[in-house]
Amino acid sequence: QVQLVESGGGSVQAGGSLRLSCVASGYTANMGWFRQAPGKEREGVAGISRASGSSYAASVKGRFTISKDNAKNTLYLQMKDLKPEDTGMYYCAAEERVRWINWKDAAEYDYWGQGTQVTVSS
């Protein structure tokens, strides 16, 4: 079983930065960050796999960086130049199977953290 605990969310003005962390227990072959604003669908922000590296949504590419410390089994999302449209609840996700997945598809993931709120003001 995999357990995920996120931290690092908060409130920041547009142009600011935040770093999210997700501490995992258990084996995680694929991991990702998702976000959800009120009334909106949960959307993939970034993903990282055991074998194929990192992927990003077009809206965050160049501003966000996903990374994983395998020794600590911890996932990170460094967010820079934050915009109001980045506001939402951010969730860490993981699944155990070594396989290709569509990282943007929430249904691919078996485990989820409780979320950490990110609020970006104008």
pLDDT in tens, 67-86: 999 899 999 999 999 999 99
Q: What's the maximum distance between 2 C-alpha atoms anywhere in the chain?
A: 41
Does the pLDDT at position 97 exceed 90? no
Cβ count near 82 (within 10 Å): 22
Q: Is the pLDDT of residue 52 over 90?
A: no
Residue written as token pair 């249904």:
107
CA distance 115 to 119: 13
- Residue type, position 1, single letter: Q
- Categorize the per-residue pLDDT at 50 as very low, low, confident or very high, splitting at 50, 70 and 90: confident
Q: What is the C-alpha separation between 28 and 12, in angstroms, rounded?
A: 30
In whole angstroms, how far apart are CA 6 and each of 24, 90, 97? 9, 9, 21
Rounded Cα distance between 92 and 76, Å, is 9
Q: Model confidence at 25, in pLDDT bands (50, 70, 90)?
A: very high
Instruction: Kindly state the percentage of the chain with pLDDT values over 90.
Output: 85
> Is the pLDDT at 1 greater than 90, yes or no?
no
